[in-house]
Structure 1
C-alpha cells in the first residue's frame, strides 16, 4: 500500500512537471511569435521610411537649376528690395508657367571679369543646368584692357564647360556709352559677339536694351536699372532664356 502511494505521488509529480514544461513551451512560442511580429513590423516600417526618404530625395532633386553669374545688374544694386532684380522676376515667370526650375542669383556688385574668374570654381560646386553669364561692364568702366576682359570671360566659359559639358551657357552682351570713344565702344561690344560665336553660345545681344541711357528707367547714377528698368531687363533675358528652357524641358 505504501509502495502504491509512493508511485502515485511520483506520477503526479511527473504530470505536474510536464504541465509546467508545456506552459513554458507555450510561453516561449508566444514570445517568439511576438518577437518575430515586432521584428517584421520594424522591418516594414524601416522599408517604408526608406521608400519615403527616397521619394523625398527624388522630389527635391528633380528640379533643374538656372544660375545667374554677374555683377551689380544681376545682384540688383541700389534697389530697396533685391527681389525686384531681374533674376527674381525671371523666377516668378518660371513659377507662373509651372516649370520645374530653381533660380540662383549669384550676382556680386562691383564684380569684374577677373573677379568672376577667381570665384567661378566655388560657384561650380553645385549642379547647374543653365548658366547665364553677365559680366564685363565694370571692366569697361574701369578701362581694363579689352584683351584681358576677353581672356577672363573665355576662362569662365571654359571652366563651366569643363566642369559640366551638358550645362547650357547663355552669354549676356554689354555695351559702353558713346563717350568712351567710338573705337573702344565698338571693340568692347565685339568681345561678346565674338565669344558667343566662337563658343557656340546662346546670346543676348545687349542685356540693357531699351534701358541703358533711358533716364526714367535708371537710378540716379544713370547706370543701374531701377525697378521699372529691371522689368524690361527681365523681358530681354526671358526672350532668349525661354528658348533654352523649352529645349531643356
Structure 2
C-alpha cells in the first residue's frame, strides 16, 4: 500500500510538472537566428540554458529566419501556431522592414495582426522592439521606433523597447557588417529580454 501511494504521488508530481510546462515560440529574423554565429551561441540558445538553470520546464521553439520582414513573419505565423501551440510568443521582427525603408504603417499593421492571431491561438505576446541607425533620418527612425510603443499600449502587450540596447552601435559588440551582434553580445541580448520575459513564463 505504501509503495502504491508513493508511486501514485510520483505520478501526480510528474503530471503536474508536465501540465505546468509551456512552449515559448520565438518568431524573428537574423538577430534571433544568430546570423553569422554558431546557433548554440545565440541569445535564444542562452535563454534555453537559463530556463533549465532556473528550474523552468518551458520548451523553446526558435522559428526565426534570417532576412524575414514582418510580412514574412505574418505569412508563416498561422502554421507555427498550429504546429507548436505556444503559451507565449515573442515577436522579434521589423528590422528588415526598416533597413528596406518600408512604410511604418505596414509594419505596425503586420505586427498588430501577429499579436491578434497569437492571442486568438491562446498565447500571450512579448514584443521585442527594434531601432534604426540615425542615417535613416530622424523622422523615419522616430516613427519606426514608435510603432512598438504604440502597439504595446494599444494591444496591452509586454514590450522590450530595444532588443539591442547597449549593443547596437558598439563596434566591439557588432559583427563587421555593423548590423548583427557578435557572440560576445548575445548574453547582453538575453539580459535585455529576461526581466520582461520571466514574469510571463
Would you call these one fold, judging by a TM-score over 0.5?
yes
Q: Does 1:73 align with 2:70?
A: no
1:77-226 matches, cutoff 5 A = 77-79=35-37, 81-125=38-82, 126-164=84-122, 167-226=123-182
Alpha-carbon contact 2:28-2:65 (below 8 Å) kept: yes
Return the offset for 1:174: 0.6
Gaps (5+ residues) in structure 1? 1-50
Which structure: greater helix fraction? 1
Larger radius of gyration: 1
Q: CA deviation at 1:243?
A: 2.2
Unpaired runs of at least 5, structure 2 = 1-7
Instruction: Find the aligned partners of 1:70 and 1:61 in 2 and give their Cα distance.
Output: 27
2:163 counterpart SS class: coil
- Following superposition, the deviation at residue 168 of structure 1 comes to 1.5
8 A Cα contact 2:164 2:189, kept in partner:
yes
The residue aligned with 2:190 is 234
The alignment's TM-score, normalised by the length of structure 1, stands at: 0.72
Find the aligned partners of 1:235 and 1:161 in 2 and give their Cα distance: 25
1:102 and 1:229 map into 2 onto residues whose CA distance is 23
Q: Which has the higher contact order (CA 8 A, sep 6+)?
A: 2
Structure-2-length-normalised TM-score:
0.89
4+ aligned runs moved over 6 Å, structure 1: none
Deviation at 1:93, TM superposition (A): 0.7
